[in-house]
Structure formats: structure tokens, C-alpha cells
Amino acid sequence: MAHAPYSMIRLSRADKNSRGFTLVELLIVSAVLSLVLTSLCGIYLSVAAEWERQDGRGTALSVTSMACSRVSDYLSQAVGAVVLTRFEEGDAIAVNLPANSAHGIYVPVWNAGRIEHQSGNWIVFYLSDSSGDYRRTGDILWAATMNWSTYPNGVVPDSAWSLYQGQSKGKISPISSLQFSVADDGLPLVTVTATSAYKVGDTNGRIKLTRSVCVQNAY
């Protein structure tokens, strides 16, 4: 019986081992890869959307907290406060600061048999655009000096004041709403409500914070 030469057998095996993938095998691999890539893309998009949502929410929470804190700091030292209405009821507040200070601390004086803080300058907090004009709406928190005899024309925005100290006008995130109310039960209690809106894709969200502070120097 004749046998095939060894070289022919080795060539036959080499041809068999070196053959390419079949069309069916390629289709199966492509289908598997498509499923894997689709799953990975879905996970990536989901994580990216959640990160964007959390980032927007965190920024909104930061700006509302800062707005309430900054205004509350002034109110806690004030001798009086008046809620004002420009476009909506209670959308601004005038704060009467004490007259005398030493080293950045307001100092009371002896008057009519008691120690009290004297009335000083009035400042007003409100939302406006980048111009700071009291007669315009906007999403930037402003502080301004004011004089009752010329109000509202005498409201002069303080361009150096910032929601974020040392930064220009606090324009890091918009404040969509700022509301004030006062309850007088012995000493005035002012409630500050700040709202910041944010958007993630087609979804709108908002953060609302409320803080109440006693005008403790009022008599």
C-alpha cells in the first residue's frame, strides 16, 4: 500500500490549520462584540448622566447655602429689617446695620439708660442681572446701599460685594428665586428662602433652602 510522502501530509495539515474564520464564526463574534459594546456604552452614558446630575445638584446646593449664609450674617447683626417688593412679594430686603464699629465689630452705646446699637447705614439685598440695576430682574445676588428719601432710585449696587468673597459678583451658579418674610414676636425673625435651578439633559431640577435668623440687635 502506497503512503503519501511526509511532506504532503505536513502541507495538508498546514493548509487546514491556516484556514481563515468562516462567515458564521465572524457573525457570531461580531454579535457578541456588539452586545458587549452596547452594554458598555449604556453603562457609560448612565454614569455620565448621573455625574452631571450630581454635579448640577451640588453646585445648586452650594449657591443656595452660600446665599442664605451671607444674608443671614448681615441680618444677625442688624438693628432692623424691612421686606420689600419689586416684581414679586418679598423679593428684596433692606437691612439696617449698626452705626458704630471697632475692628470690624459693631459696638453698642449707652443711650437713655440702656445699652443699644444705633441705627447706621441701610443696605438692600436683591436679585438682578450683571448690571446690578435694582429695577431689573436676574439671577445674581446683589448688595446695594440705599437711602429711603430717594428709594428706589437711590439704590446703588456695590460692585465690590460678592456672593463668594473675593470673586466677581458670585456668578458661579444662578439663583432663580430669593424670598424674604418677617415675623415679629418680640424680636424680628427673618426667613430667607433661596432657590437655584439646574438642568441635566431634558430634566429640570431645583434646590430650595430656607434659613431663619433673629435680628437680635433690634429694640
pLDDT (tens digit per residue) in 120-152: 889 999 999 888 899 998 888 899 999 899 998
pLDDT exceeds cutoff 70 at 78: yes
Q: What is the pLDDT of residue 20?
A: 62
- Is the pLDDT assigned to residue 27 strictly greater than 90? no
**pLDDT score recorded for residue 48:** 63
User: Could you read off the pLDDT of 171-181 as tens digits, one per residue?
Assistant: 556 788 999 99
Is 54 a domain residue?
Answer: yes
Confidence band (pLDDT; 50, 70, 90) for 103?
Answer: very low
Mean pLDDT of the chain: 77
What's the number of domains the chain is made of?
Answer: 1
Residue 3 lies inside a defined structural domain of this protein: no
pLDDT bin (cut points 50, 70, 90) of residue 65 is: confident
Residue predicted with more confidence, 204 or 143: 143
Q: Note whether residue 134 is domain-resident.
A: yes
pLDDT at 178: 92
Give me the domain span that covers residue 102.
Answer: 45-214
Confidence of residue 94 (pLDDT cuts 50, 70, 90): very high
In a domain, 37, yes or no: no
Higher pLDDT, 217 or 182: 182
Q: Say if 7 falls within a structural domain.
A: no
Q: Establish if 9 belongs to a structural domain.
A: no
User: Is residue 8 situated within a structural domain?
Assistant: no
Q: pLDDT category, 18, cuts 50, 70, 90?
A: low
The pLDDT-based confidence of 91 (bands split at 50, 70, 90) is very high
Q: In this structure, is residue 63 part of a structural domain?
A: yes
The answer to whether 217 touches 198, Cβ cutoff 8 Å, is no
Please state which of the ranges 6-20, 90-104, 133-147, 204-218 shows the lowest mean pLDDT.
6-20
